[in-house]
Amino acid sequence: MDRRSFLLSTGGLALSQLLVGCDNKNQTKLSIQLLKNSIPSQVVDKFSQALQPKAQLKFAPVDQIQNLYQQLQRWQEQPKTNDKQAWTRWIPFINSQTTTVVDLVSLGDYWLKSAIEQKLIQPLQDTEVKQLKYWSNLDERWRQLVTRNDQGNLDPQGKVWAAPYRWGSTVIVYDRHKFQELGWQPQDWSDLWRDGLRSQISLLDNSREVIGLVLKKLGKSYNTENLDTVPNLEKELQTLNQQVKFYSSNTYLEPLVTGDTWLAVGWSSDVLPLLSRYPQLNVVIPSSGTAIWADLWVRPTKASNNDISSKWIDFCWQPEIAKQITAKTRTNSPIFPDIAKTDISEPIRSLLQTNHQLFTKSEFLLPLPTTTVKQYESLFTKIKTS
């Protein structure tokens, strides 16, 4: 799964890299690769100011979660420095690659299972978790999400492999002017089947998201393991497919902005930054619940465990800092800070607050058995080509 925006949000950490602190060889260092725009630069500044003793910080934003995952793979596979042939040092492209393993990396929850299976990351130490001041403040579902066995599956007896720092959901975004003509406004997944929307919808090109929303409409779970047990699932998918103009996980919002479609289903991190620029758009979180995604801090396998990286994880959970991450990146925090009217303008504020209310109705896209994944993909391909 790849979440990325075709129109970048503002206020996030969007520089090629951000260095804070003097280059002192004796100074403690913290190096982080993170998803672009997922942490405001002001938060990094505050962390630097609060650190005692002072440290040198290096934050390097990366455009896509997939690129961060691939970087984890390269670190795991990279040969020792002295194994490299001397001539490679003179090739600019090779020389520019990041060979030094960083302390922490952003990773989406969707990638967590495979990162654990491939031994790309290491679990947080038990003593480290116990020392995290805000760990106990997290909703139990967050602790369950990142507590897994060595196969990457949820396990209450497993280890803690990651720390969530922001999250969002799959939402419905639509052109309010078009729906004024229809005389109604979308509120839930079932509205996607209503008259007047034939060939007016764009959906994510993702089997778990599309089949999942149909399952949710039918009162089932996004994580249903045997689709054959769900009556009318294929029929519902076929009917929905008639409403769809196209499927895309990258360019589903452009046609909505230009008026070529009336409604899209997409990720809140892509959608919410557009609202201030395109007032004709309105967003709703389906009332029956939706899919949730999360961005996590993980530690690469070859990284050394240092105290400052634990401090950073805990810092992101401080209520005032979590509020800043929420306000600047237009996403939710796993600790649900109170949002005042002066913190975030409407309609984004009410959407983020509504997310809290719908949290219990919504679901993470959890790992499924390989046979089940193939079942989802096969059915989705069949529907799209029918």
List the end-to-end C-alpha distance of the chain, in Å, as a whole number: 24
Q: Using CA atoms, how far apart are residues 174 and 248, in angstroms rounded to an integer?
A: 16
pLDDT, position 346: 80
At 115, the amino acid letter reads: A
Q: Which residues touch 1 (CB under 8 Å, ≥6 apart)?
A: 108, 110, 111, 206, 208, 249, 293, 365
Q: How far apart are CA 173 and CA 329, in angstroms?
A: 18
- List strand residue ranges (DSSP E) for 102-157, in order: 104-108, 121-122, 147-148
pLDDT in tens, 40-70: 999 999 999 999 888 999 999 999 999 999 9
Instruction: Return the pLDDT at 315.
Output: 98
As a whole number of angstroms, the distance between CA 39 and CA 254 comes to: 25
Rounded alpha-carbon distances, angstroms, from residue 316 to 8, 44, 274, 306, 337:
22, 10, 25, 17, 12
Predicted pLDDT of residue 353? 78
Report the alpha-carbon distance of residue 99 to residue 346 in Å, rounded: 44
Query: What pLDDT does 12 receive?
Result: 54
Which ranges of the chain have pLDDT less than 70?
1-26, 78-99
Beta bridge partners of 357: none
Q: For the structural domain made of 168-291+364-384, what CATH number should be given?
A: 3.40.190.10
What's the pLDDT at 244? Answer: 97
18-167+294-350: which CATH topology? D-Maltodextrin-Binding Protein; domain 2 (3.40.190)
> How much is the pTM?
0.87
- Provide DSSP, 149-186: -TTS-B-TTSEE--EEEEEEEEEEEEEHHHHHHHT---
Report pLDDT digits (tens) over 111-122: 999 999 999 999
* CATH 3.40.190.10-classified regions of the chain: 18-167+294-350, 168-291+364-384
Percent of the chain scoring above 90 in pLDDT:
77
